[in-house]
Amino acid sequence: MGAERRIHLRIPTDLTLKIALADGVHVARLRDVSQSGLCFFLDRPIDEMSILEVSLDLPSDDGSFSVRTTGVVVRSRKISPAVDHYEIALFFNGLDDTAREALSLFINGQKG
Protein backbone atom coordinates (compact mmCIF):
# COMPACT_ATOMS: atom_id res chain seq x y z
CA MET A 1 0.00 0.00 0.00
CA GLY A 2 1.31 3.48 -0.86
CA ALA A 3 1.76 6.47 1.38
CA GLU A 4 -1.29 8.53 2.28
CA ARG A 5 -1.52 11.49 -0.11
CA ARG A 6 -4.71 13.14 1.15
CA ILE A 7 -4.36 16.55 2.69
CA HIS A 8 -8.02 17.11 3.58
CA LEU A 9 -10.01 15.33 6.27
CA ARG A 10 -12.57 12.85 4.91
CA ILE A 11 -15.93 12.74 6.68
CA PRO A 12 -17.95 9.51 6.43
CA THR A 13 -21.52 10.26 5.39
CA ASP A 14 -24.62 8.54 4.07
CA LEU A 15 -25.92 11.41 1.94
CA THR A 16 -27.02 10.99 -1.66
CA LEU A 17 -25.36 12.45 -4.71
CA LYS A 18 -26.79 13.16 -8.16
CA ILE A 19 -24.52 12.41 -11.10
CA ALA A 20 -25.13 13.48 -14.69
CA LEU A 21 -24.16 10.65 -17.06
CA ALA A 22 -24.76 10.22 -20.79
CA ASP A 23 -27.98 8.24 -20.16
CA GLY A 24 -29.41 10.68 -17.59
CA VAL A 25 -29.12 11.67 -13.97
CA HIS A 26 -28.35 8.90 -11.47
CA VAL A 27 -28.54 8.90 -7.68
CA ALA A 28 -25.60 7.44 -5.78
CA ARG A 29 -24.80 6.97 -2.10
CA LEU A 30 -21.85 8.89 -0.71
CA ARG A 31 -19.23 7.06 1.33
CA ASP A 32 -17.31 10.16 2.38
CA VAL A 33 -16.62 13.75 1.43
CA SER A 34 -13.74 16.19 1.88
CA GLN A 35 -12.90 19.67 0.68
CA SER A 36 -11.04 18.19 -2.28
CA GLY A 37 -13.37 15.39 -3.36
CA LEU A 38 -15.72 12.59 -2.48
CA CYS A 39 -16.22 8.87 -2.76
CA PHE A 40 -19.52 7.23 -3.71
CA PHE A 41 -21.11 3.91 -4.62
CA LEU A 42 -22.79 3.33 -7.99
CA ASP A 43 -24.21 0.33 -9.88
CA ARG A 44 -21.81 0.80 -12.81
CA PRO A 45 -18.16 1.65 -13.34
CA ILE A 46 -17.10 5.04 -14.64
CA ASP A 47 -13.87 5.40 -16.57
CA GLU A 48 -11.01 7.02 -14.68
CA MET A 49 -10.27 10.58 -15.83
CA SER A 50 -13.94 11.10 -16.78
CA ILE A 51 -15.26 14.52 -15.84
CA LEU A 52 -18.61 14.38 -14.05
CA GLU A 53 -21.19 16.96 -13.12
CA VAL A 54 -22.44 16.26 -9.59
CA SER A 55 -24.76 17.83 -7.05
CA LEU A 56 -25.41 17.13 -3.39
CA ASP A 57 -27.40 18.75 -0.62
CA LEU A 58 -25.42 19.38 2.54
CA PRO A 59 -27.49 19.69 5.72
CA SER A 60 -26.81 22.71 7.89
CA ASP A 61 -28.33 24.54 10.83
CA ASP A 62 -30.05 26.82 8.30
CA GLY A 63 -31.61 23.97 6.29
CA SER A 64 -29.41 22.74 3.48
CA PHE A 65 -27.05 24.01 0.83
CA SER A 66 -26.91 22.52 -2.64
CA VAL A 67 -23.40 22.06 -4.02
CA ARG A 68 -23.13 21.70 -7.79
CA THR A 69 -19.71 21.16 -9.27
CA THR A 70 -17.56 19.06 -11.54
CA GLY A 71 -14.92 16.53 -10.71
CA VAL A 72 -12.51 14.06 -12.23
CA VAL A 73 -12.86 10.32 -11.56
CA VAL A 74 -9.59 9.21 -9.99
CA ARG A 75 -10.63 5.68 -8.98
CA SER A 76 -13.39 3.29 -10.06
CA ARG A 77 -13.29 -0.24 -8.68
CA LYS A 78 -15.72 -3.05 -8.13
CA ILE A 79 -16.61 -3.47 -4.47
CA SER A 80 -16.51 -7.28 -4.61
CA PRO A 81 -16.76 -10.04 -7.21
CA ALA A 82 -20.19 -10.97 -5.84
CA VAL A 83 -21.66 -7.44 -5.86
CA ASP A 84 -22.32 -5.48 -9.02
CA HIS A 85 -21.57 -2.09 -7.44
CA TYR A 86 -18.56 0.16 -7.70
CA GLU A 87 -16.69 2.53 -5.41
CA ILE A 88 -15.83 5.70 -7.30
CA ALA A 89 -13.56 8.49 -6.09
CA LEU A 90 -13.92 11.99 -7.51
CA PHE A 91 -11.48 14.89 -7.24
CA PHE A 92 -13.24 18.27 -7.42
CA ASN A 93 -12.05 20.50 -10.26
CA GLY A 94 -14.87 23.03 -10.44
CA LEU A 95 -15.71 24.19 -6.91
CA ASP A 96 -16.57 27.85 -6.61
CA ASP A 97 -15.91 29.80 -3.40
CA THR A 98 -19.50 29.44 -2.15
CA ALA A 99 -19.48 25.66 -2.57
CA ARG A 100 -16.02 25.41 -1.00
CA GLU A 101 -17.26 27.34 2.05
CA ALA A 102 -20.39 25.15 2.33
CA LEU A 103 -18.23 22.02 2.25
CA SER A 104 -15.92 23.46 4.88
CA LEU A 105 -18.84 24.30 7.20
CA PHE A 106 -20.37 20.85 6.73
CA ILE A 107 -17.08 19.01 7.34
CA ASN A 108 -16.14 21.08 10.37
CA GLY A 109 -19.63 20.59 11.82
CA GLN A 110 -19.42 16.80 11.38
CA LYS A 111 -15.99 16.23 12.89
CA GLY A 112 -16.76 17.88 16.20
Domain spanning 11-111: which CATH class is it, in words? Answer: mainly beta
DSSP string, 49-86: T-EEEEEEEEEETTEEEEEEEEEEEEEEEEEETTEEEE
Report pLDDT digits (tens) over 58-107: 887 777 888 999 999 999 999 998 888 999 999 999 999 999 988 888 88
Q: What pTM was computed for the model?
A: 0.87
pLDDT level of residue 49 (50, 70, 90 thresholds): very high
CA distance 40 to 75: 10
**CA separation for the pair 56, 10 (Å, rounded):** 16
The number of residues making up the chain comes to 112
Q: CA Rg, the chain, in Å?
A: 14
